[in-house]
Amino acid sequence: MSVSQPAATSVPAVSFEFFPPQNLEASFRLWDTVQVLAPLAPRFVSVTYGAGGTTRDLTRDAVATLHKTSGLNVAAHLTCVEATRAETLAIADEFAAAGVTDIVALRGDPPKGANGFQPHTDGFASSVELIEALAATGTFNIRVGAYPEKHPESPSTAADVDWLKRKLDAGADEALTQFFFEAETFFRFRDACAKAGIEDRIVPGILPIENFKGVTKFAERCGTSVPAWVTQAFEKAERIDQQDLLATALCTELCSELIEGGVDKLHFYTLNRPELTRDVCHALGVTPQVALQNVA
């Protein structure tokens, strides 16, 4: 890494991302995921939106239920897609009324089949506008997305850094990165952000690899490069049926390298499959501390 950072001296603080259930079976899966990971005392958990805001109501319901029943600090995703400013802020008000004041503010992915993002006529034109409006209320702790590798719609990584600075200057408190496979990818991004005046507010996003083929497709869509050595390792692991063992080892090594490089917070994309995330956290010294409370 090119800019030296003090090594983290303690176990990292962790947070987890879930997606909202779309049927009864998925609801049980989400609850099982929460039960597995809640004892690790995450500083927050977040609930996503689907592309084009397709899970807006499901997200709202899942956030409210988790906040009420789990005892966790729940952050709600909120996007600009296919909604007016008034509608978007009304959803934010509903979150606040339910006691949820942490929001992950995103532009959001366009609906399937759409030719890129098109703001609603009366909607927010960008995540920066959404962040400014949320910050103006004085109600919310705001997190945003960041891209250690070039966003598919961005002209350059430098442009991504500039855009991230605009989001933080607009009132965001913290940035969560897209996932990546090598620690050096994050360190290069952190260095570029530091040169732009952004420091100590970027949390690396970690994706334990539950299904390598699925992850590679996801990586292609979001502009994440997959190193050849990772592909070769999973091809070999598949032949001997050791994919989970490899996934746990690689993810633990990635997190350890980040911690050695000064990272003290990690954000895990769980895909509502908690076992690998739990195992990696245990390997990092994140051990059970609390139990769920107020379970309905």
Catalytic annotation, residues: 17
Rounded CA-CA distance 9/259 in Å is 8
For residues 124 and 133, the answer to whether their CB atoms sit within 8 Å is yes
